[in-house]
Amino acid sequence: MKALTGVTLEEFELLIPEFDRIQLEHATSIKRKRAVGGGRKGILKNSTHKLFFILFYLKVYPTYDLAASIFDVDRSRVCRWVQIFLPILETVLGRSCALPKRQINSMEEFLTCFKGVGDIFFDGVERPTQRSKNHEKQRKHYSGKKKRHTRKNIVGTDEYKRVHYLSPTKGGKIHDFKQVKKTGILNHIPPDVSVWVDKGFAGIKDIVDEDQVMIPHKKPKGSELTDDQKTENKIISGIRITVEHAISGIKRFGCATNILRNRKGQDDQMMAICAGLWNFHLQNA
């Protein structure tokens, strides 16, 4: 089950009741000629099958043609399933309080999002995307760090690896610090919260109090770091490993790791759902 869907059997069974409720709400909310359940029975006969399909799609991330062959339907049917079931799964995770916050506009919102958290860890996460035929979009998505076209998010986690915050998805060209600066979250961090970042966030001390920031020392041009600075860098990296573990938890799903093929903002939605499934896993571990 975990290899096919990215969740354990126990987690899958916990998701089924809420998925069934929301799917029924969706079915009854649209204009219908028949009662819910009327008409021909499809390939996916119930909510369990539908939940399995969308988790399978996120985990394995097959092309529509391959998924159509596996489920014995037309590729257009697979496309419609993805468009219908993704928002339902997102709502399920939202009601389970597993989805990360996408925007923080005040210190009150920060304290609500990071309730009881004394240390926050920021890092950037990138995944490859198809190269656009548009030259301007090529430049916008090209990541000098990864040497390929990517899409990027900034994640904010706590010491227990939970993803509390996920920034909007941007092209890979944007720098980590510039992206998190644009979100405005740095302006709303309370003075008693420590902020752990890597060297990609150089300049953060101009916004957040210097005593709050834990960032590795950068090697000076033409000289070397002292032994004390190297030791301090090692300690910071050892503590910051929690955010790397959280990112690896998100990237258990193929849609967050393989070359992105979807359009119309589905990449942003998929990233939020993958982070939500990781948080759901931590809640029920």
21-55 pLDDT, tens digit each: 999 888 888 777 777 777 777 899 899 999 999 99
Residue 145: is its pLDDT beyond 90?
no
Residue 84: give the domain boundaries. 2-95
Q: Is residue 249 part of a domain?
A: yes
**Residue 276: both structure tokens together:** 């939500």
* Same structural domain, 184 and 218: yes
* Same structural domain, 163 and 257: yes
> How many C-alpha atoms does 117 have within 13 Å on its Cβ side?
24
pLDDT of residue 14: 96
Residue 264: is its pLDDT beyond 80?
no
Residue 10: is its pLDDT beyond 80?
yes
pLDDT of residue 230: 92
Tell me how many domains the chain contains.
2
**Residue 79: both structure tokens together:** 């496309």
* Same structural domain, 120 and 249: yes
- The overall longest dimension of the chain from CA atoms, in Å, is 76
> How many C-alpha atoms does 59 have within 13 Å on its Cβ side?
16
C-alpha–C-alpha distance, residues 121 and 156, integer Å: 5
Average pLDDT over residues 240-248: 95
- Asked which of 65, 95, 125 is the last residue of a domain, the reply is 95
Q: Which of 274, 284, 267, 282 is nearest to 6 (CA)?
A: 274
**In this predicted structure, which of 37-41, 73-77, 114-118 has the lowest mean pLDDT?**
37-41
* Same structural domain, 140 and 194: yes
C-alpha–C-alpha distance, residues 229 and 216, integer Å: 8
C-alpha–C-alpha distance, residues 258 and 274, integer Å: 13
